[in-house]
Amino acid sequence: MNYPSDNRIKVHPTVVGGCRTETTRTAFSSENASVRISLPPQNAALTAATRRVTDPRTPGCAARIIPMAVSIMLTLLAVAQDTPGSDLKTTGFKVSKEPADGEACVEHLHKIHDAIIAFKEARQRLPNWLSELSPEFLDAKLLVCPYVSRIADLRSWRYRNIREDVFQDPKESTSYAYEFCNKEIPLWPGVKTTWREFKLRLVRHMAPVGEDAVPIVRCFAHEPVLNLAHNGRIYPNPVGKDWEETYMPRFKHEDFHPESFFLDSPVRVDAGHFPRRAAQANARLLDLSQHYNAYLDEVWLPFPRDCDLKKLPNGLQEFGGVHFDVRGLIQLSASRLLAPYPSNVAGIKVGGACAKIHFLHATRPVPVRPPNILPGTKVASYVVRYANGTETEIPILYGDDVDNWWFDPSRPNHKLGRVVWEGENAASKVENRKLCLFLTTWKNPSQDQPVATLSLNSAMAETAPFVVAITTE
């Protein structure tokens, strides 16, 4: 497959509410400015009211000073931003920059917080979804941002929006994102969490800066986004940034990822889940069964969601003129990869002399930003161990042998790697992206010498190699 030679573009992650999607976008801004709002110090009543509202011991307080402060912030931010209202991702609706819309939304957020507190006292737990609050604890009308109810029907507003998980209230009755919902987050094979469990851990992790940081409910209908913190504080995102960035560098980007809280939970695959190796598969199609650590038909890294290899034809398949046994994959680690995959998988049996070894493989970027991976970077080394005990290394170079498996089909950046499969999954479809796998063929300089084993080693660059199949010739 030939692609223009001048279209290699560096992959920059796009941050979506603190979690990056695997995509090719413009560079992330490193600006660190923030807007500070000072309330008049001489106004003791106002200061006291502010303290009361932001004090986690008095949740549900009906003070309305904070809407005023938020309104001032929104006004300043509207002045500070001279760009026209930006499109909400994929829905076509404009987000509002009008302070009045923000103020009306803040009123709803206060009432939602009061209702969450009342619910928690009555049921001794947080609601699984905001719809659980109504009708007993909240008028259902308050679950829709006044601006949203003016511009859009709820369903088209909600779906295909950023952070889909937290919008998936099963009763489809709210425009607000509920970040403490009980929607599952599959992390890696055998390990999953929920948004609530992750966010509760994050609240504990951020205890040194107080309990007013982590949002529980958010309204994405405004620019900046409005956040209702876990303890009742309402605040807008800093200009052009996510709320998390207020707390950097004290907290790292990784701290805001659910994966970070579960890294001591190892990958656990069930051998019975992989398709059975075909009886006609010969020994040249290496049997990787005992080394697989991820399934093709399930996610093996949590973000983006629904990002699997379900559509890769499995069993005995031919890619790029080479036959492969395709039933699972071996994911290796990388620098800053937030998942407990191994940096080394050794002892893959080969057991014969060969002229060539073919690898069907690719890489996945790490979920941090900005990635630091340049063409020519060694991302893995596959080591051939001959029966006589000698070894030789096959270096795997980014751009030459493999590239990001996720690409923009209008601007593919894998000009040198040999793409032998292109496909998609639910996540790539949403982003208008495609997936691909690369074929690397290594010529053996010692063709008469039997090869005993292969080992796969990550070079711990900032992209994580994975191997789907290996065939000798």
Task: Give the H or E element holding residue 401.
Answer: none
d(CA 216, CA 430): 26
Residue 176 beta carbon to Zn ion: minimum distance, rounded to whole angstroms: 7
Residue 425 backbone dihedrals phi, psi, to 5 degrees: -145, 180
Residue 222 beta carbon to Zn ion: minimum distance, rounded to whole angstroms: 5
Residue 455 beta carbon to Zn ion: minimum distance, rounded to whole angstroms: 54
Residue 161 beta carbon to Zn ion: minimum distance, rounded to whole angstroms: 13
Choose between 61 and 105: whose C-beta lies nearer to Zn ion. 105
Residue 93 beta carbon to Zn ion: minimum distance, rounded to whole angstroms: 12
Choose between 70 and 213: whose C-beta lies nearer to Zn ion. 70
Residue 233 beta carbon to Zn ion: minimum distance, rounded to whole angstroms: 16
Residue 219 beta carbon to Zn ion: minimum distance, rounded to whole angstroms: 3
Residue 199 beta carbon to Zn ion: minimum distance, rounded to whole angstroms: 20
Whether the Cβ atoms of residue 332 and residue 413 lie closer than 8 Å to each other:
no
| Sequential DSSP letters for 414-458 | -SSS-EEEEE--HHHHHTT-EEEEEEEEEE-S-TTSPEEEEEEEE
Going from the C-alpha of 330 to that of each of 56, 163, 287, 337, 363, the distances in angstroms are 46, 28, 12, 15, 11
Chain residues in the site for Zn ion (CB under 5 A):
105, 145, 219, 221
Length of the chain: 473
Q: How many CA atoms lie within 13 A of 127 on its CB side?
A: 26
Choose between 36 and 155: whose C-beta lies nearer to Zn ion. 155
| Sequential DSSP letters for 91-124 | T-PBPB--HHHHHHHHHHHHHHHHHHHHHHHHHS
d(CA 8, CA 415): 7
Structure tokens at 111: 């009432």
Choose between 233 and 253: whose C-beta lies nearer to Zn ion. 233
DSSP three-state, residue 19: strand
Choose between 105 and 420: whose C-beta lies nearer to Zn ion. 105
Choose between 148 and 394: whose C-beta lies nearer to Zn ion. 148
Residues sharing a CB contact under 8 Å with residue 197, sequence separation 6 or more, in sequence order: none
Residue 204 backbone dihedrals phi, psi, to 5 degrees: -65, -40
Choose between 185 and 228: whose C-beta lies nearer to Zn ion. 228
Choose between 158 and 414: whose C-beta lies nearer to Zn ion. 158
Question: What DSSP state is assigned to residue 213?
Answer: S
